[in-house]
Structure 1
Amino acid sequence: MSSKYLPASNPVKSFWLTAEVDFKDLRSTEELPAEADIVIVGSGYAGSTMAYYLMQEQFSGSMVMLEARDVCTGATARNGGHLKPSLYYSHKSWKHRYGEKGAAEIVNFEHAHLKAVKEIIEQEKIDCDFVLTRSCDVHLTKTAEQDCIDNYYDMMRNPYITCKHDTQILFGEAAKNISHVVDSNVCVTFTAGQLWPYKLMTSLLRKCLEKGLNLQTNTPVLGTEKRAGKWLVKTSRGTILAKKVVFATNAYTASVEPKFENKIVPIKGMCSHITPENRPAHLNNTYGIRYDGADQDYLINRPDGSVIVGGAKKHIFPFKNLFYNVVDDSTLVPGSERYFDGYMKRFHTWDTTKATTDYVWSGILGYTDDSFPYVGEMPHEEGKFVIAGFHGHGMPRVLLSSKALAKAVLGKDKNLAIPSAFKLSEQRLKQTNNRILQSLGTPEAKL
């Protein structure tokens, strides 16, 4: 096991963490229990929803959750809060690799998260600033425009995609007027959501705690060892013998399972919170703002009039040592703070509005060698499960992956109702072609 992949102990505080919960550093018991039926490693989006769905499946055994830092302080408390399925922009690539049916599996699965997330929020009566809206992708280079058009119409020809009706492409003045971005000649709109992700996950965790979940924060896991048909989970505070263990560790998975080194790679990203001095006209859409290749930003408009903007990849991706295989979210990437200042001037509803970038933070994303998450049981290691590596796109992928994996952990459905591309397999673990830098458009990133 490698301690170099463990989370930093002093992360920059994000805007989302202004809502820190009263159990942020909870240890349900003073000492670690000696044994447990299920141990979940990680308290973020994947870990919290795993615990929730296991209990929804009427699991009544002992369950322990181990978190290396305070509760839910990883990517879930650092992302953009953007529930945005990818419905068209990667379609040609996905079709090339998995065929029309395989590409449609991914598109339909991501779109299904809109309903699933809305249902869980309403069913559990969770206050997390959830807004169901439309996202607007704008394309600000000729290359981005052509990629948009090619992928959009390729997606529309796929007979297996069931949510094509939810997308619309607009050109010229219509694109400029709908997007409010004066440089946008092509835009695509579709249903999306926005929310306060930390509030959603900690609300689910609170419900799990009420049902008996044993939470142990600030307890890094250092590795596992097979012991008498069970898994000895080694931590900085001792060991737990578990019948089953679930790694919901995203970017940090190599710290507990060395087989994922160079397969789930920690990538450092940047995000910000911007507050206007005088509230401008509300932008009705959330946004994906695309330049060439993987150079893109994202934006959500919060109900209080502030916005969250993430990306700044122009200041990150040219320099491999600043972002690639980096787990340190205690510092900012140089230049990224300046990137967000004045950002909102591109929207004509904000062009006379003074605004302050009052929070800028870093976060660690779990990018994978083939751009898809690893979900399932480890080959030849019965009782060890992984749900990790969401490639900076976890909001429309994690929830239903957790729901499916919970059934597999309990032995109720080992087929996993997730896209085939997501399933953990021996073949995927053995392949050695790491496409991450290529996918980012920086194959010659500077050292």
Structure 2
Amino acid sequence: MSAAAKPAPLLAGGKAFPVPRGMSLSHWLQGVRANPLLDKRTTETLPASADVVIIGSGLTGTLTAYELLTRPDPPKNVVVLEARELCSGATGRNAGHCKPDQYRGFAKYSKLFGKEQAKKLLAHEWETWEKLVAFVQREKVDCDLWVGDTLDVAMTDEAAAKNLAVYEDYKAYGGKVDHITYTSVAVEAEKVSRLKGAKAVWAWKASTLYPWKLVAHLMRICLAKGLNLQTWTPATSVTSSDGGHWAVNTARGSITTPTVVYATNAYTSGLIPSWASYIQPTAHMCNKVVPPRAFAGARALRNSYAVLADDGTFTINQRCTSDGTLLFGGDNPNQHWLKAYLAQDESGMRLFDDSLSDFEPVTQAVRDLATQSLEGWDEDIDSPGVGPVYAWSGIIGQSADGLPFIGPLPDHPGQWVAAGFHGHGMPHIFTCAPGLVTLMQGGTWADTGLPECLELTKERLAKIGETPDFNKPIV
């Protein structure tokens, strides 16, 4: 693609939302550099009009398009606009974990939305995971799917006690826990987890996968059904047009449409400036680690992880069905150094700059966990190509109340939002995007089957008010 085709900045309330000059390439984006979908434009010029314009080509935007085009009476013209490469936002930058929270978020969600909604949320995450796995298996999607036991491993007595209290509270309220195995004997916890010093382990089913390839599979189906994909085409604004329609404006022209879907996650306020009070972007790091001999071959890790410490949580995608690398994400104990770095920039531009790579304090926390807790890790750690070999940044769409917003944009008929996944999108999107399409087709919220606390309403926005709290932990 020529230099002239590179995108112009997005605008957010008078501030630029620049596309970084050299975005970092995640593990997923590195592995598909020759894929023609990366920079695909179905037509050389933008269509003047469309029945639906979806802004964003991650899992939310692409699955929304898929649902629209595969249900009865599909729209004739659907356009997906992507600011950069296909699926180069949050979906293409995560650690590849689809882990439905099955107890740990109960305390946080109960405080915010009440225990009944918290219980519904955990059931919703399990349903989402089941639907994602069923789709991948049924459609034989080539996306490195792994299904097996994910482990929550408490590494301190305090973390063990804290999480056990939440688990017991959820169980006492009637939460489903018969599919969870709990181990509190330290010797057994160490054996199950292979982590020295482990105090307790909770285990249940979850998955890891190659999320970009799942999106690509969905996108190919959509393209075969007539979808128009336009990469490297950032929307700069959405304005009113004739006949009650909307104009989606880009540097390459405008598209008139009655229906706009914001699948923009962290970048939503770039197009709806008032939403800076509801969704905030923030950079986050993931690390790619090549394991030494003690954790390779027959001795490779066979579980995915959330490693729970007093000062943070690691997640680990072990990729044991594919290349065997370990991908570390989550709320790493040294992410606070990254947050401090971001805060030093008074303009706020760093919050959505995903060109950052190899942020040393975060990488050091990964090294510390591996060397201190994984038996035998140090035996050949100095060998070339072993250990942390690369880290990349992604932009989390932090929600002001910790949950995504799904539904119509108030006072903007024909505009719809599915955004603000708070670093936990994979266990939401495979039901939230279909739910959004149900609403777009005239269904009620009850028809979506989604928990009520996910619905985008004026009342929910008013409750958040003028002083949002974006510091809620990622589950």
Gaps of 5+ in 1: 441-447
Measured in 2, the distance between the counterparts of 1:7 and 1:406 equals: 29
Which of 314, 329, 342 is 1:297 aligned to?
314
Aligned to 2:7: none
What code does the residue aligned with 2:375 have?
H
- SS of structure 2 residue aligned to 1:359: strand
Aligned to 1:134: 149
Measured in 2, the distance between the counterparts of 1:64 and 1:140 equals: 48
Aligned to 2:3: none
What code does the residue aligned with 2:353 have?
D
Which of 231, 236, 250 is 2:246 aligned to?
231
1:207, CA displacement in angstroms? 1.2
Aligned to 1:53: 67
Q: After the TM superposition, which of the residue ranges 310-319 and 119-128 deviates more from structure 2?
A: 310-319
- SS of structure 2 residue aligned to 1:437: coil
Aligned to 2:335: 316
Q: After the TM superposition, which of the residue ranges 24-33 and 9-18 deviates more from structure 2?
A: 9-18
Q: Is the 8 A contact 2:265 2:418 kept in 1?
A: yes
Aligned to 1:8: 20
Q: After the TM superposition, which of the residue ranges 193-202 and 15-24 deviates more from structure 2?
A: 15-24
Q: Percent identity?
A: 31
**Alpha-carbon spacing, 1:400–1:363, altered in 2? closer, same or farther (3 Å):** same
Which of 29, 36, 39 is 2:43 aligned to?
29
**Alpha-carbon spacing, 1:222–1:390, altered in 2? closer, same or farther (3 Å):** same
Count residues in correspondence. Answer: 438
What code does the residue aligned with 2:28 have?
W
Which string of whole-angstrom CA distances, capped at 9 and with x for unpartnered residues, describes residues 99-123 of structure 1? Answer: 3321111000001122101111122
Which of 24, 41, 44 is 2:58 aligned to?
44
Aligned to 1:443: none
Which string of whole-angstrom CA distances, capped at 9 and with x for unpartnered residues, describes residues 140-169 of structure 1? Answer: 23332221111010111122x3x4211122
TM-score where L is the length of structure 1: 0.93
Aligned to 1:398: 429
Measured in 1, the distance between the counterparts of 2:235 and 2:109 equals: 35
Measured in 2, the distance between the counterparts of 1:41 and 1:230 equals: 16
Q: Is the 8 A contact 2:102 2:122 kept in 1?
A: yes
Which of 100, 103, 115 is 2:115 aligned to?
100
Q: Is 1:307 the equivalent of 2:326?
A: yes
Gaps of 5+ in 2: 1-10
Q: Is 1:424 the equivalent of 2:456?
A: yes
Aligned to 1:282: 300
What code does the residue aligned with 2:355 have?
S
Measured in 2, the distance between the counterparts of 1:386 and 1:298 equals: 28
1:386, CA displacement in angstroms? 0.4
Q: Is the 8 A contact 1:6 1:252 kept in 2?
A: no
Measured in 2, the distance between the counterparts of 1:5 and 1:189 equals: 41
- SS of structure 1 residue aligned to 2:471: helix
- SS of structure 2 residue aligned to 1:283: coil
TM-score where L is the length of structure 2: 0.87
Q: After the TM superposition, which of the residue ranges 95-104 and 147-156 deviates more from structure 2?
A: 95-104
Could you say what the CA RMSD is over the residues aligned between the two structures, in angstroms?
2.0
Q: After the TM superposition, which of the residue ranges 410-419 and 167-176 deviates more from structure 2?
A: 410-419
- SS of structure 2 residue aligned to 1:284: coil
Aligned to 2:80: 65
1:49, CA displacement in angstroms? 0.9
Measured in 1, the distance between the counterparts of 2:209 and 2:460 equals: 33
Aligned to 1:359: 390
Q: Is 1:373 the equivalent of 2:388?
A: no
Which runs of at least 4 in structure 1 moved beyond 4 Å after TM superposition? none
Aligned to 1:240: 255
Which of 199, 216, 226 is 1:212 aligned to?
226
Which string of whole-angstrom CA distances, capped at 9 and with x for unpartnered residues, describes residues 302-344 of structure 1? Answer: 1232211124633332564534650001123343333334643
